[in-house]
Amino acid sequence: MSGVRLVEGDISVQEVDAVINAANASLQMGSGVAGAIRERGGPSIQHECDALGPIEVGRAAVTFAGDLKARFVIHAAVMEIGGVAEAESVRSSLEHALACAAERACATVACPALGTGVGGLGLQRCAEISLEVARRVVAADGPIDEVRFVLFGEPAYRVFEMVDDAEKVLRQMQALERR
């Protein structure tokens, strides 16, 4: 199935071309999404990060995926270590991460709720930004066929679902108005 999808689960077990990691600019893989990716993917991912980092907030860096069921991990730097994630840094880092995936001919990409853990960005704002960026990228004539938002826990899933449903209703209403 292609397009933008929402699933509840563990991003570190997704069978995709690339997994996006909610990263800090130092590329130090701590807890949350990064910790799950590090634990399942093995130490080679952090070793590659050490050679690449630090990067600018709002940018992304690519490593191989170690023992994950993906080819790449794309580290989207949403904040500094100990900092907070801002809406613009989430937007920019996701755009850069998806551009990195496209450059590597990735058709399927798994993405978490960037910046909502220790970064402190609200789930609804993250969903609004992330879904808008993903829809635009999938609609473009590029290699990315599916962006799968893998959300940890039902509350996160439900917030993304609500934002996604609201956008679908808005598009349907706009189509009716044009008739």
Residue 1 has pLDDT above 60, yes or no: no
Half-sphere exposure of 49 (CA within 13 A, CB side): 27
Q: Give 87-112 pLDDT, tens digit per residue.
A: 999 999 999 999 999 999 999 999 99
* SS3 (DSSP) at 171: helix
Going by pLDDT thresholds of 50, 70 and 90, the confidence category of residue 179 is confident
Mean pLDDT score, 29-46:
95
Pairing of strands 3-8, 146-151: parallel
Residue type, 114: L
Per cent of the chain over pLDDT 70 is 99
Per cent of the chain over pLDDT 90 is 87
User: What pLDDT sits at residue 141?
Assistant: 86
Residue 145 has pLDDT above 70, yes or no: yes
As a whole number, the mean pLDDT across the chain is 95
User: What pLDDT sits at residue 173?
Assistant: 87
Mean pLDDT score, 19-28:
97
For residue 57, give the DSSP letter.
Answer: T
Asked if residue 54 has a cis previous peptide bond (ω within 30° of 0), the answer is yes
User: What pLDDT sits at residue 26?
Assistant: 97
For residue 148, give the DSSP letter.
Answer: E
Domains of the chain: 3-178 (3.40.220.10)
Cα 119 to Cα 79: distance, rounded to the nearest angstrom = 7
Residue 85 has pLDDT above 70, yes or no: yes
* Closest by Cα among 62, 67, 112, 116 to 87: 116
User: What pLDDT sits at residue 104?
Assistant: 98
Q: What angle do CA 162, 148, 34 make, to 5 degrees?
A: 100
Residue 55 has pLDDT above 70, yes or no: yes
Question: What pTM was computed for the model?
Answer: 0.93
